[in-house]
Amino acid sequence: MHILLVRFSSMGDVALQTATVNWLRALYGKELRLSFLTSQEFTSLLDSHPGIDQVISFNRRGGEEWKDLIAKIKHLDSEHPLDLIFDLHATMRSFRLKLAFWRIPALTVDKRRWERFFLTKLKGVIFKRLISPKLFGLETQVERIITDFDSLLGKGQGKWKTREYRSGPHGELTSLGELPVYALPLPYIVLAPSASFLYKRWPIESFVNLAKYLLEKTSHDLVILAGPEDDFCKAFSEIDSPRLHNLQGKTSLKESMSILSRSIACIGNDSGMNHIAEAYGVPCLTLFGPTDPRFGFAPHGESSHHISKELWCKPCSTTGKTPCYRERHFCMEMITVEEVGAASLKILGEA
Ligand code: SF4
């Protein structure tokens, strides 16, 4: 049995799909050959995963053409004939791919676009509650995907879990020999103040005050993880403590993954870093602003938690991309440092 999973982007969504990998591997064991097609920039999320046999990349940003990708999949199919394509993206690109390989059976994820659309459009907390608590239930996207596929495959086992993504003797990715550059003192907490869209970010001043709170209330070190473009993390420079390690812009995706895998908790926005931490079974605290945990991206680990304020204007978009139209960014500003601090201590088991 050879299955090709397809999810081109984004970082968090690709990380979330490691749960689908784990589920398929648990279901079929060694009889399964599993290939994963993703965008070039996210291959490092997957190429050390013990459940994946081969990662196929598509470097569209680097100028790779569609015909080159088709040739790659043809080659894959000729070497190990494909039995099934799992389309976990359901975009025009993935539909084109399925069309090109129409002879291969395919399953396509139901992204519940209508549910998310209505949840975004039907403003009013009470109204949304009345409409259908079942329709807008809190189960995760991954749980939905696996439940759907499980019934389509007729397996009826419904097993799913995001964990078991660790492969090294200490729970780290084995391919990370480069990591000793960042010899971080254990144990440490990761703060992830970035997000793909501005409006999904809790104010940086709040993150700085949270860092002060955690330095005072715990004995753990803190590690800041963010991308090279996230200059706003310079705000942490006002904290003069050897226990604060600001690695914004200093780590590759692979290094960030390894750092996350060894952390004792990750506190951040509804973003890729939190989804990666979840994939390693690290307790997460996720802060939701314009998006809604009912979209299915809340952390679901036993010790994980999320904070999301109830506002008439929320959710205002399905991705967090839409600019805020209110005079203030209430959905994030209403989340206080004290409540995030208290919830952090809770997920650390130190409340
Ligand atoms: S305050 Fe309301 S309108 Fe503004 S980003 Fe948040 S949810 Fe959207």
11 close to 42: Cβ distance less than 8 angstroms:
yes
Spacing, Cα 228 to ligand 1 middle (Å): 26
Per-residue confidence (pLDDT) for residue 162, from 0 to 100: 47
Q: What is the mean pLDDT of the chain?
A: 85
Percent of the chain with pLDDT over 90: 53
* CB distance 163 to ligand 1 below 6 Å: no
For the CA of 328, the nearest atom of ligand 1 = 1
Per-residue confidence (pLDDT) for residue 178, from 0 to 100: 47
- Residues contacting 61, CB < 8 A, separation 6+: 39, 40, 41
Per-residue confidence (pLDDT) for residue 173, from 0 to 100: 52
What domains, with CATH codes, occur in the chain?
A: 2-111 (3.40.50.2000), 179-347 (3.40.50.2000)
Place of tokens 């506002």: 311
Q: Whose CA is nearest to atom 2 of ligand 1?
A: 313
Per-residue confidence (pLDDT) for residue 288, from 0 to 100: 95
204 close to 248: Cβ distance less than 8 angstroms:
no
Spacing, Cα 317 to ligand 1 middle (Å): 9
Spacing, Cα 330 to ligand 1 middle (Å): 6
Rounded to two decimals, the pTM is: 0.86
The pLDDT-based confidence of 131 (bands split at 50, 70, 90) is: low
Q: With 50 as the cut, is the pLDDT of residue 317 above it?
A: yes
* CB distance 345 to ligand 1 below 6 Å: no
Is the pLDDT higher at 10 or at 226?
226
Per-residue confidence (pLDDT) for residue 179, from 0 to 100: 47
Handedness of CA 11, 14, 18, 19 (dihedral sign): positive
Spacing, Cα 273 to ligand 1 middle (Å): 22
* CB distance 325 to ligand 1 below 6 Å: yes
Per-residue confidence (pLDDT) for residue 340, from 0 to 100: 98
Per-residue confidence (pLDDT) for residue 54, from 0 to 100: 95
* CB distance 331 to ligand 1 below 6 Å: yes
DSSP 8-state class, residue 142:
H
* CB distance 330 to ligand 1 below 6 Å: yes
Q: What is the DSSP annotation of 267-308?
A: EEESSHHHHHHHHTT--EEEEESSS-GGGTTS--STT-EEEE
| Mean pLDDT along residues 126-143 | 56
